[in-house]
Amino acid sequence: MVIGVCTLYLRIPTNHSLKGKRRVLKSLMARVRKDFNVSIAEVDQQDAWQAATIGIVCVSSDSAYAHGLLTRVVQAISAHRLDAEVLDFEIEMY
């Protein structure tokens, strides 16, 4: 069994409140859960208005599949979310 963990660092440049940040992240996380069947949550920078750290996790029997899935999640977020800019990401396998 392989556990793939992706840490995603986002910037939300047009946001000016925690309420606005919550709206953006809630929408983003619901879409990722629905489209990719992964677990996703905000894991750091909860008090920052224009920054977010998201954790995305998947479990698989194949590490190549898990890595590819997490890579596709990051690509989908950066391509389709105009209100959240991907600054950096890390993918680790356990």
Going from the C-alpha of 8 to that of each of 61, 75, 79, the distances in angstroms are 23, 11, 14
Cα-to-chain-centroid distance, residue 49? 17
How is residue 51 written in tokens? Answer: 């920054």
Compute and round to an integer the Cα radius of gyration of the chain: 13
How many CB atoms are located within 10 Å of the residue 12 CB?
21
Q: Provide the CATH number for the domain around residue 77.
A: 3.30.70.1120
* Structural domain that includes position 63: 2-93
Contact 57, 39 (CB under 8 A): yes
Number of domains the chain contains: 1
pLDDT at 16: 86
In tens, the pLDDT along 28-79 reads 999 999 999 999 999 998 888 899 999 999 999 999 999 999 999 999 999 9
pLDDT at 47: 87
pLDDT at 84: 87
